Amino acid sequence: MARMTQSESERSPRLERDVVCVDLFCGAGGLTHGLIKAGLNVVAGVDFDPMCRHPYEVNHDGAVFHHADIAALPASKLDEWFGRARVRVLAGCAPCQPFSNYALRYQKKDEGISIEDDERWSLLDHFGRLVAEMKPMPDVVTMENVPTVTRHAVFKTFKQGLERLGYHVWVNVIDCALYGLPQRRRRTVLLASLHGDIRLREPTTSTSNTVADAIKYLPVLKHGATDKHDPLHTASRLSNLNYDRIRHSKPGGSWRDWPPHLVAKCHSKTSGKKYPAVYGRMKYDEPAPTLTTQFYGFGSGRFGHPTQARALSLREGALLQGFPRSYSFLPDGEPIQIKALGRMIGNAVPVDLGRAIGRSIMDHVIPLREVRGSRVDRGTCARRSSSLK
């Protein structure tokens, strides 16, 4: 993990209160958790999934969850939540599924519907709308998404709109493993500031955390079982066929290592031979591959446990996303819903990426806060165009 710098360790509680953040599309709170660790005062999170309320509020003292549709959210609400904050930071990760490679290739192909008809595409437009309509506008805006988001017109419109409003915009695709995450996860990160150039800080270590660093210490678990001390350490049940398959799987290997009678018919076809990572085991001594919302399924990717005959447990997925082991996703005693929780964990912004983004923002705003007194003179910014065109 990256070490805290001297400037970070000397930050005062007053400074943290001054840098106030609202997290749009907050989900279970991965981004918020990282931002708070970096010193930002996150006061509110917004998401359309009411199931996110518990993990968001229970794990973040003082941050309030708002169940709302971003498309219908007025900017006046954000102004209310920010109050008299000296530095406003608006963060968010619009749902990434419409921008993924999978969506581009397959989604809605048979129905004759354009992928861009998906209503989730417009959420990035509404993110831009909120930036423009806030009074005053946010000092800093940040978003993250899948690497392919930059190919789409809706992202280009969002970025150009920020630039027209006077923001200095930085965009790049980064590997979260370089920032401490025990997972190879490439994401597009955008940082924008009204007050000068801003960018994601460089990684502070050349070594990556591994799957073993994150999960090797957890109790041994059979497929279909739940650890009696941690309900989230639960693994989905395998069919007899998939149990035989994982027993013949090697860490880092593929279904090509199996006896012929275990190989699926689809993998014998030319198209199926292109996907060796499905039905694969992870390797302990490397970062995990990118987790999806179905990381709990052995056949959904390289999500087999390195040594145990099962797929990842929900807790292991959360740890590989950077959540601490103590992170609560459900109230005590509530039944585990593997699909719903898997989606929540897989969709989360990794905590380590959130921390890196937060530290980059703090590096940028500390000089601003020190030179401006009570507020930055944002009169010029407030008089700019009130909409992203």
Which are the catalytic amino acids? 96
Residue 168 buriedness (CB in 10 A; 0-12 / 13-18 / 19+): middle
- Which residues 6+ apart lie within 8 Å of 245 measured at CB? 255, 258, 262, 279, 298
Half-sphere exposure of residue 167, counting CA atoms within 13 Å on the CB side?
A: 29
Residue bearing tokens 């165009």: 385
User: How many Å separate Cα 319 from the centre of its chain?
Assistant: 13
CB 208 within 8 A of CB 178: yes
Residue 192 DSSP symbol: E
Distance, CA of 389 to CA of 379 (rounded, Å): 21
- Name the residue among 159, 18, 171, 155 with its Cα closest to residue 94: 155
Q: Which two tokens stand for residue 119?
A: 């209503």
Does residue 136 have a cis peptide bond before it, meaning omega lies within 30 degrees of 0? yes
CB 64 within 8 A of CB 84: no
Residue 270: helix, strand or coil by DSSP? coil
Residue 334 DSSP symbol: P
- Which residues 6+ apart lie within 8 Å of 372 measured at CB? 86
Distance, CA of 133 to CA of 387 (rounded, Å): 7
CB 87 within 8 A of CB 369: yes
Q: Which two tokens stand for residue 59?
A: 């794990």
5 conformational bin, left if phi > 0, alpha if psi -120 to 50, beta if neither: beta
Distance, CA of 171 to CA of 201 (rounded, Å): 12
Helix (H) or strand (E) holding 266: helix 265-268
